[in-house]
Amino acid sequence: MILSMGMDEIKILIVEDEQKIADTLKFGLCENGFKVEVAYDGKLGYRLFSVQDFDLLILDINLPGMNGYELCKAIRLLNERIPVIMLTSMSALNDKIEGYDAGADDYIVKPFEFRELLLKIRALLKRTMSQYVPVGNLLKLSDLEMNLDSKEVKRDNTVIHLTAKEFQLLEYLLRNKNRVVSRADIAINVWDMDFDTNTNVIDVYISYLRNKVDKNFGHKLIQTQVGMGYIIKES
């Protein structure tokens, strides 16, 4: 049985009519772990944006249908927060001012180095996404931090010692934070098996985790959704 890990993915929309540039960007961003959609004209970009959730936008300026400035203004009416990077071959100061006026957060001039774009993307995401930003191998929620490399777990800067299974369970919950996971999801993803529905192994492990992660701290992160499963979120 194949089940997705339900990883928190950062989704980027590229609106760029030059297919070669759009495809190169998409390839590079996907390689860096982002999920990417491409629209080759402004109107299609707007349509995609209004029906899907994105975390960041990369907009070309000279676009058929609706130019990058118009598109940015229209998007800002729907969402004030989403980071927008304008991509353009024009480098005149006036164009940049027009871009910022339209609501862009940053600007990159073609031809550009992909690494430079990547740095700008990461900086903007760090600034705007208060919750989960994959910095290195760190999972975070509120004052809870889980380092997947060093296997260190901290809450409010206090180190918490977990067993291997507890660690895996917490990792799974955090990767699916703000989403209810059923006992069956947990069984398959953390224990690699289907459990007999009568067993309470998962509930027992959840209570171990609560004792270590929640008990001695102000607000509780691990919550039970009666009849459905568990969710980790800021209450």
Structural Rg of the chain based on CA atoms? 21
- What is the smallest separation between the CB atom of 160 and Ca ion, expressed in angstroms? 51
Residue 19 or residue 150: which is nearer to Ca ion going by CB?
A: 19
Closest residue (Cβ) to Ca ion? 62
* Number of continuous H segments (helices) and E segments (strands) in the chain: 8, 11
Residue 127 CB partners (closer than 8 Å, separation 6+): 83
For Ca ion, which residue of 34, 36, 45, 60 counts as binding (CB under 5 A)?
60
Work out which of 62, 91, 131, 199 binds Ca ion, going by CB under 5 A.
Answer: 62
Only one of the segments 5-13, 61-69, 153-161, 194-202 lies at the binding site for Ca ion (rule: CB under 5 A); that segment is 61-69
Structure tokens, 55:
């975390």
**SS3 state of residue 105:** coil
Determine the angle formed by the axes of helices 68-78 and 93-101, rounding to 10 degrees. 20
Nearer to Ca ion, 60 or 171 (CB): 60
* Residue 86: strand pairing partners: 59, 107
Q: Judging by beta carbons within 10 Å of its beta carbon (0-12, 13-18, 19+), is residue 154 exposed, middle or buried? A: middle
Pick the stretch among 2-10, 52-60, 78-86, 208-216 that binds Ca ion (CB under 5 A).
52-60
Q: Binding mask 10-39 vs Ca ion (x if CB under 5 A, - otherwise)?
A: -------x----------------------
Interface residues with Ca ion (CB under 5 A)? 17, 60, 62
